[in-house]
Chains A and B, each alone.
Chain A
């Protein structure tokens, strides 16, 4: 092997990160631009989340907590829509709650869009509590009475004037809480609401957080886990409504493959460099 070849192999271990960024950009963009699709297979964690909601009797109340904003919207909004479709299809009542102020319009847009698809009526089939600051304090107070923190809904309408809220006072009247999480609220739901009020929980989290949530799933503290865009795509498949989650799967697949190829190239470079240094 001559010096030039060695230099080339070693260069594989020191690729300028801008090339990596370019390749990742392309493998994400091209499948979306050309509408490439891939078959999605459902994992037990997502199936468990689906089954928990699927078992609920008609008229049960599902509370969905919007704990994200525009940043993680591409991952979590498809989850929200898929879960809403499932709930409305089964004639479950939905309450939306927000712990991230900038998530308020995003959650509301998703709710109104899906409710319209199913012809649901605000205040009868679904409602939005809006945002309240105070995280844990709000969660704990809702264990006694929702009205102690939310005097009205997102538009200021008194809760008692909404037909669906007449008999809903605290977690005992809510069958399942679904937390869609981009931050620490998921931990609070588990540590305060599940631990103290034995409330059934499902968490939908960004892919980067998923590994940290598995202990809750295995310990039975949450009934199901929907992780990242892949989880959203799986839920879309379960509700038989492929949407953005499915579109993103081809991009995500090829991005993962590209990262693995870069890791392999990096290691080739590393071993070539090590061999040369040993030879010296």
Chain B
């Protein structure tokens, strides 16, 4: 995020209303319980969780910044480093692995000319290997945004990549 953008870190009104709704679900003084969901919102809205975004979330919930940092760095879904616009997260655990996840990963690597963990030079795609996403019976699979794509084949991967290339936000569920 550019220095210019960090100055204006604030949620729009509808997200602030959502913050109010979420924090109201917990007893007085226990509003920190809403932190994980609010971090998901922040990541969806700002793209990733850099320090100024986390500081903003801390202010919203009246927390010390460190309380937000330690949570953001613990959970694997939060990006504390800038990813591409489209994260292709291929499940690589046990059942997916024996049903061909490794081949799918190699195929995407070749197609996008990146390795697992890297982002394409145009900043669109990041490829990640992730651990069990609970889709073992529908393997191999990948997650993109909040969408699961199951029973993957190379042809399906081609289709997905084409679709996301045209419109990186195509399957992105607004928080």
Q: A and B: partners? A: no
Chain B contact residues, CB within 8 Å of chain A: none
